[in-house]
Amino acid sequence: MPILEFTAPPLPHYIAGGYDVLPKGFKHLNRRDIGVFDLLVVSFGCLYVGEEERRYEVSAGHALILRPDRHHYGYEGCKEQTGAYWLHFGTEGAWRATDNPSIEPPSESRVRNAFTVHTFSMMLPQFVRLTQPSMLYEKLDQLIGLERDSHHNWARWKHQLIFQQVLELLNASLDLHTVLPGANVAERAASYIRMHYSEDITIGSLAEALNFHPVYIARCMQKELGCSPIEYLTRYRLEQAKLYLLQTDLPIHRVAEQVGFTQPSYFSTCFAKYEGLSPRDYRKRFRIRP
């Protein structure tokens, strides 16, 4: 499978991104030479995408980067409802697709002096099973959450910082043997939470499901994801709530129930804490009506 090798600096840069829940039968757009890289990450279901003569089944926990200079298309419709992140990025630097990535640094960096900008190679798999999918989903959620503020300079800067973390996670997936035990535990815990977020999850039930001590799980998640299991659960529930608020007409108390909150008032309090406005105001401000 080809590896995309980028010479940096300049670093690849984020352009735009989003998350879609695609209906059964959906086919990826038929496009040619779009001029930007298109990263697809599937969280559930499966996308069937072709690039020139190659065909890819991008199932849950997999990522595919479509090249800017090729024809890509959906060769088959989704067989089930599918959740997929999409992210467009570009680069002003050199890049190539190769089965034999460089070991030597680029020739211009070999002559070293105090004023030389030393370039290096960034390796990204074009198609890969992610070693830590939940961590990547978390970063992509953060990127998409900033889209509504993309007109601010601080948001565009933050976009680029988080995007570099996305690239790091993609690079780490090149070698399935590099994941540390603690990262594995954090990933398994995050994956369980994402699958059961609407249920009554406690640190005890999480520990029982994973067969690890709850303190160890919490320590691993804090180190790898920067939050406790309950914080992760709350954040994920709120991300799902935002989709319900923008994509359905469900009343606020029903949205709360759908994502696992038993008390609508507590849901509204948590939502306002993380988003800076109430669920009702969020729906009014960001929902795009036909």
CATH code for position 194? 1.10.10.60
> In Å, how far are 25, 73, 80, 121, 175 from 105, measured between CA atoms?
46, 35, 45, 7, 21
Contact 37, 65 (CB under 8 A): yes
Residue 68 burial (CB count, 10 A): 17
Same-domain check for residues 24 and 74: yes
- Of 172, 205, 229, the residue at which a domain comes to its end is 172
Contact 251, 213 (CB under 8 A): no
Same-domain check for residues 242 and 271: yes
Same-domain check for residues 246 and 158: no
232-269 residue pLDDT tens: 999 999 999 998 998 899 999 999 999 999 999 999 99
Same-domain check for residues 154 and 204: no
Same-domain check for residues 164 and 247: no
Count Cβ atoms within 10 A of the Cβ of residue 34 and give its class: 0-12 exposed, 13-18 middle, 19 or more buried: middle
- Of 172, 194, 219, the residue at which a domain comes to its end is 172
163-193 residue pLDDT tens: 999 999 998 887 644 455 777 788 889 989 9
- Of 155, 172, 189, the residue at which a domain comes to its end is 172
Residue 101 burial (CB count, 10 A): 13
**Confidence at residue 176, expressed as pLDDT on a 0 to 100 scale:** 47
**Confidence at residue 233, expressed as pLDDT on a 0 to 100 scale:** 95
pTM of the model: 0.63
Amino acid 268 reads S
User: Which structural domain range is residue 75 located in?
Assistant: 3-172
Same-domain check for residues 97 and 193: no
> In Å, how far are 177, 211, 236, 241 from 250, measured between CA atoms?
44, 37, 19, 10
Contacts of 230 (CB under 8 A, 6+ apart): 203
**Confidence at residue 90, expressed as pLDDT on a 0 to 100 scale:** 95
Same-domain check for residues 157 and 212: no
Contact 220, 182 (CB under 8 A): yes
Residue 254 burial (CB count, 10 A): 12
For tokens 């040619």, what's the residue? 32
Same-domain check for residues 91 and 147: yes
Count Cβ atoms within 10 A of the Cβ of residue 215 and give its class: 0-12 exposed, 13-18 middle, 19 or more buried: exposed
Sequential pLDDT tens for the chain (290 residues):
678 888 888 889 999 999 999 999 999 999 999 999 999 999 999 999 999 988 999 999 899 999 999 999 999 999 999 999 999 999 998 999 887 666 454 444 444 555 566 778 888 999 998 988 888 998 999 888 887 766 677 778 889 999 999 999 998 887 644 455 777 788 889 989 998 999 999 999 999 998 888 998 999 999 888 899 999 999 999 999 998 998 899 999 999 999 999 999 999 999 999 889 999 999 988 876 55
Closest CA to 97 of 124, 58, 57, 128: 124
Domain count, the chain: 2
Same-domain check for residues 133 and 247: no
Same-domain check for residues 133 and 213: no
CATH code assigned at 33 = 2.60.120.280
